[in-house]
Each structure stands twice: as C-alpha cells, then as structure tokens.
Amino acid sequence: MLTVDFDRLGLKAGDRVLDMGCGAGRHAFEMYRRGADVIAFDQDTAELAKVQEWFWAMKEAGEVPEGASAEIKEGDALALPFADGEFDRIVAAEVLEHIPADIQAIAELVRVLRPGGTMAVSVPRWFPEIVNWKLSADYHNVPGGHIRIYTAEELTDKVTKAGMVFDGKDYAHGLHSPYWWIKCAVGVTNDDHPLARAYHRLLVWEIVKQPAVLRWAGKVLDPAIGKSMVLYFTKPTAAPSAGPK
C-alpha cells in the first residue's frame, strides 16, 4: 500500500534514495524493485532487521534489477549520518507528525538532498486526522504517537523555508479514513468489534486483490477524505538571486 507516487517523484533506476523513517519498508521495497540504490533509515532496530530480511529475500527471488542495492541504517532524524547532497530522491512518509523538532528534521532532509533532487513528504491529512483526535484520545496519546496535525499550508511553509520549491500535492488512502473513524469510535484496540472487523476485511481485499470497484472508489474518495496528504518538492540547483540593489 504505497502513499508516494514514484513517477511524480521522478525516481529512476540508479538513483540514490533515502527512505527516512522507513517503518516496515513499504516504500523502500518498491524503490528497490525499480532499481534504485536504497537506504532504509529508522530508529527502530527490530523493524530495520525485518526490512533487511525482506531486502535479502527480494534479491534471492530475482525481484530487483541487476545493479540495484539496498541497505538499512539506524539513527536519529535530527542528525542524519549522511553527507551533504548525498541523495537524488528522499521519501519521508508518515514520520514528521511523530517528531517534536520537525523543523530540524526537515533541515536535515534538505541538507542531504542534492541540488535538483526531489523529495516527497506525506503526513496525515488535517480533516480525517482531526476527526480521529476528536473521537479518541487513545488514537494519538501513545508513546511515539502523533503529536501534531498539519495543514497543507503549514507543512509547505516549513519545507519551503528550509530551501525547497513546492511542486504540488496529492491525497491517498481515501478508503482508509472511515476505517480509522470506526476504530476511534469503538476503541482503537477493539479489533473484534463487528464494524471494525468487516471494514478491515474490505481493506485487505483492496490491498491483496485490488478490485476495479475499490480502485474506482479510492480515486473518488482520495481528493475528498484521503487519509494521507503527500507534498512534492524540488531542491533548487542554485540559491535564489537577491535581485538588483
């Protein structure tokens, strides 16, 4: 279940890419399949170990092009262990809403992206997220949980002030917002509630089988109630001119 549109990001085989806050690795795996040189970065060592196992399995199964590479790296988003301008593309999917010092994390992402490189940043969309917070404090009041709700304007402002150019936005996972509203209404840990179980089966059907009717429903719902907002940026190749004096 991908959130980022890699064609819009401009991803090409051979690109060096960073998946910052990779989690279970869904975006890192797809970039590896597309022939990129992938670094899956996170602070969760257990999660990273599983991602590494999947990288090995993908290579053994012949699922990646010749020359593609992938590795894991543990560290702190506020002090990325990479050189200035090291990456052609960066993905930061559903991570900034967890980081108290988000401006510092954004500055680090911009630092390690090369001039002319592109970045995709996704966060929970304001309206679906505010509904979740209103329905249940347990949804976000957990260790490492969501600490803020972004508007598109706020996040765009923070990233452009760090030196990036805004290329546009998109929305994803419209079918998933009602699921989380149900979960928040009946109890976020109450997986056995009939409504939660029924809707979960629908989402599994969507992910595994990708039926046409649910693809169509997603396209209709994404602009209206897509759970994720995805913003795309480019790092300028030169500093903006100060203009005539």
Q: What is the pLDDT of residues 13-50, one digit of tens each?
A: 999 999 999 999 999 999 999 999 999 999 999 999 99
Domain that holds residue 63: 6-125+143-172+227-234
Contact 94, 122 (CB under 8 A): yes
Total domains, the chain:
1
Residue 245 pLDDT > 50: no
- Residues 166-212 have pLDDT tens digits of 999 999 999 999 999 999 999 999 999 999 999 999 999 998 898 99
Q: Would 99 be classed as within a structural domain?
A: yes
Residue 242 pLDDT > 50: no
The pTM of the full predicted model, rounded to 2 decimals, is 0.93
Q: Would 178 be classed as within a structural domain?
A: no
Q: Would 54 be classed as within a structural domain?
A: yes
Q: Would 152 be classed as within a structural domain?
A: yes
DSSP states of 37-62: EEEEEES-HHHHHHHHHHHHHHHHTT
Q: Would 218 be classed as within a structural domain?
A: no
% of the chain surpassing 90 pLDDT: 93
Q: Would 160 be classed as within a structural domain?
A: yes
Q: What pLDDT score was predicted for residue 238?
A: 76
Q: Would 181 be classed as within a structural domain?
A: no
Q: Would 163 be classed as within a structural domain?
A: yes
CATH no. for residue 27? 3.40.50.150
